[in-house]
Amino acid sequence: MRILTAGGAGFIGSHLVRALLAAGWEVTVLDNLSTGLKENLPDGTDFITADVRDEETVRRIMLEGRYDAAVNLAGQTMVDASIKNPRLDAEENILGTVNLLGAMCRAGVKRFVFASTAAAYGNVAAEDLPILENSALAPMSFYGLSKVTAERYLALYREIFGIDYVVLRFANVYGERQGDGGEGGVISIFTKRLAKGEDITIFGDGEQTRDFVYAGDIAAGIMASLVTKNVNTAYNLSSCTETSLRQLVSLLAQIAGRDIVPHYAPERTGDIRRSVLSNQRAVRGLNWQAATPLIEGLKKTYEYFAARAGR
């Protein structure tokens, strides 16, 4: 298969591209390098510098590429940034997706895999956890709203133009090569600072929870979504395990081999209190489940950033 991966030089994209190439698939990466890095990709990766918001360029690339499918990992991924600049968030996450979909229609590309988010659900009552895919979509941030809106475009493009799609609502993804943004960014922030011997700060009381899932497992889920017959639906990609930030710090202390006493600061606007996603639909429909225990993934991540810090 020949795959166009928008945002492929980013954190999750770098894990996906490696997995696709290892499996013998043809991959072209489209990225504007606003947050991604070419050094994240293996040498020789077919790479195009372009922005998904550039309609004419996206159309030309899609027409020339003869792709079997497209994966959209491009976009704005930070809750706080979406609050500060809703317009930019909408341009990247909605308009960029619409440009890709329009280009696919003209080029005859029939499958689109879209990276969505647990932020689509908003704050869910404790009795309704873990969150199912048919739970109400009630985002608390413009980031979550832009992803939900893009999902609805996918459904209409399917109805009107016949493009098959798979929506993947990621839990809190973490791993090597992650930046400080995004929903799993707390792990990259903490591991980078710990690797440098610096202090860490928790926003809130530390009892807020997240569902952390390793980026290599996310890459495997995306690959499964490219070949599954169970399309035109949404899947949660998650560990289905709830971990508090205090628990996370305790695990990192074990890995770093030292005590960690975090600073505390006021919680941030738009942050969700508790989050854990059911992954049973993905188990059934994609034959996928998270395979990397949190302690193992954290160790890989810490060792990566420690090596970069020279420790």
The pLDDT value given to residue 11: 95
Active site residue 143: yes
Which strand (E) or helix (H) includes residue 215? helix 215-227
Question: 2-173+215-239+277-291: which CATH number, 3.40.50.2000, 3.40.50.300, 3.30.2350.10, 3.40.50.720?
Answer: 3.40.50.720
Q: How far apart are CA 93 and CA 153, in angstroms?
A: 11
Residues ≥6 apart with Cβ < 8 Å to 231: 111, 164, 165, 166
pLDDT band at 4 (very low <50, low <70, confident <90, very high): very high
**Mean pLDDT across the chain, nearest whole number?**
95
Which position has the higher pLDDT, 193 or 182?
193
pTM of the model: 0.94
Share of the chain above pLDDT 90, in %: 90
Where are the chain's structural domains?
2-173+215-239+277-291
Give the CA distances from residue 178 to residues 44, 145, 175, in Å, rounded to whole numbers and listed in that order.
21, 23, 6
Q: Which residues are 46's β-sheet partners?
A: 28
Query: In the structure encoding, which two tokens stand for residue 91, read together?
Result: 């341009």
Residues ≥6 apart with Cβ < 8 Å to 82: 76, 89, 141, 142, 143, 146, 270
The pLDDT value given to residue 180: 64
pLDDT tens-place string over residues 125-134: 999 999 999 9
Q: How far apart are CA 71 and CA 20, in angstroms?
A: 12
* Peptide bond just before 266 cis, omega within 30 deg: no
The pLDDT value given to residue 184: 53
> Do the Cβ atoms of 159 and 233 come closer than 8 Å?
no
The pLDDT value given to residue 311: 58
Tally of CB atoms within 10 A around 33: 14
pLDDT tens-place string over residues 54-105: 999 999 999 999 999 999 999 999 888 999 999 999 999 999 999 999 999 9
The pLDDT value given to residue 269: 77
Q: How far apart are CA 201 and CA 203, in angstroms?
A: 6
Identify the active-site residue in 121, 143, 157, 235: 143
pLDDT tens-place string over residues 251-282: 999 999 999 999 999 998 767 788 899 999 99
Tally of CB atoms within 10 A around 266: 7
134 φψ region: left (φ > 0), alpha (ψ -120 to 50), beta (else)? alpha
Q: How far apart are CA 8 and CA 145, in angstroms?
A: 23
Average pLDDT over residues 94-122: 97
